[in-house]
Amino acid sequence: MIPLREPQQIELKDKSTFLISKVPCIAAREIFFNYFSFLMPIFKSFTSENDLQEATGKFLSYKENQEACLKLLSYVAKVSEDGKEIRLNHVSLIENHVLSWQQLLEIEIEMVKYNCDFLELGRILNSIS
């Protein structure tokens, strides 16, 4: 497992501490392409229900989005109370150290902001948090 690149410590709203990092280029391309493809229908204006169904069929795949989430979290570490870093590179580690879906969403948002600040979505997320 490669070390975290440019790790940055974050504190979530519940005061838990994680390390986020820059995702290596090839992994980042795969992960963020899936994230943005998943979000595309949310940001698009639709003129009819058929347009929405067509876009959803092309862009939304929960399974692919979940796989991207798991890959993204493999570049995150939980910081324990004694300062130990626990990489979240397996579902069981994620389930044990990320205690709620709200925590999970906060971590995902922080990772998108940290890795995609050059894209419009990264800038939008940076401005609202």
pLDDT band at residue 42 under the 50/70/90 scheme: very low
Confidence of residue 119 (pLDDT cuts 50, 70, 90): low
What pLDDT, on the 0 to 100 scale, is given for residue 122? 47
pLDDT tens figures, 98-114: 999 999 999 999 998 89
Report the candidate in 107, 103, 126 with the shortest Cα–Cα distance to residue 116: 126
Cα(81)–Cα(75) distance, rounded to whole angstroms? 20
C-alpha distances out from residue 78 to 21, 39, 56, 113, Å: 12, 26, 34, 18
Determine what percent of the chain is predicted with pLDDT higher than 90.
50
Q: Percent of the chain beyond pLDDT 70? A: 71
pLDDT of residue 123: 54
pTM of this prediction? 0.76
Tokens representing 36?
A: 């943005």
pLDDT tens digit sequence for 57-78: 555 567 877 888 999 999 999 9
